[in-house]
Amino acid sequence: MPTLTEQELAEISSYVKENYGVNLEKKSALVEGRLGFLIAARGFTSYGKYFDFVRQDPTGREMTDMINRLTTNHTYFLRESDHFDYFIGEIMPWIESLPGNRDLRVWCAGCSTGEEPYGLSIYLLDYLALRGPLHRYDSVILASDLSEKVLADAAEGIYTEENLTAMSKERIQKYFVPIGANRYQVSAQLRKNVAFRKINLLESFAPKTPYHTIFCRNVMIYFDTDTKVELVSQFYDALIPGGYLFIGHSESLTTFEHRFQYIKPSIYRRPL
């Protein structure tokens, strides 16, 4: 397997950062781990030659495949589930209090293989079921990612028992269908409640109608400060006054100026 040189890492990371906002400058181990075996299996003698091949592919499929491999995040059901508890316990009553509101505008940005939006949707559907027919909402969650492959996997909604270890047996029986040894598929009801879409967070994404809540958890760890500043500013503008932003527990907005109100670690709000 070829060794990744500093010059090759700089060339690849510069391209990925400029076009997709992902910072790989000090992540040689990640690049080697996700591309090394592919490069060796396909007969390339260096990362540079492989990258030249990727850029020269007229179909764009090789570039898509490379970006998919470099940006896919590890996730699992009910990760940082206290965020879901806060959403149900604090944010939903606020949304319900808004005059004339009958739609829930929630966006999971950087959703990877779907565990986050499906998990949040489970909490939401359980909450609305308890509230009764007078509390019906258009509760479809927007879930986006840069990777076309993980979006396709997420839309299919097939997971193993290992993905569901934090899920109760009652919820597994209610929202998942066994489809073979150690495999479950998300129920039709749950799949209908999540809409998947490819979105590059480096590009402008101003919505036609602003959101009540945005989840962007464990995504900005890949971005440099300038990219984070721009992204957080766009998230602010994409929320209604009073709307909430969730980031990962290991992330913080304290290293740069922003317009959000701090609520508690990893939870921020656009002032009313």
From the list 239, 236, 212, 205, the residue with the least C-alpha distance to 104 is: 212
Average pLDDT over residues 55-83: 79
Question: Dihedral, CA atoms, 246, 250, 254, 257, nearest 10 degrees?
Answer: -50
pLDDT at 72 exceeding the cut of 70: no
Residue 75 pLDDT > 70, yes or no? no
Q: Which tens digits make up the pLDDT trace of 152-208?
A: 999 999 998 878 888 899 999 999 999 988 899 999 999 999 999 999 888 888 898
Question: Does residue 272 have a pLDDT over 90?
Answer: yes
Q: Could you give all domains of the chain from N- to C-terminal order, each with its CATH number?
A: 6-71 (1.10.155), 82-158+186-269 (3.40.50.150)
Contacting residues for 182 by C-beta, under 8 A, at least 6 apart: 160, 161
> Residue 135's pLDDT is what?
62
User: Does residue 249 surpass a pLDDT of 80?
Assistant: yes
* Beta-strand relationship, 158-160 and 183-186: antiparallel
Cα 136–Cα 197–Cα 242 angle in degrees, nearest 5: 50
pLDDT per position as a tens digit, 128-143: 988 876 567 788 999 9
pLDDT, tens digit, for every residue of 204-235? 888 989 999 999 998 888 788 898 999 999 99
Q: What share of the chain is helix, strand, coil (3-state, %, to 5)?
A: 45, 20, 35
The residues near 82 (Cβ < 8 Å, ≥ 6 apart) are none
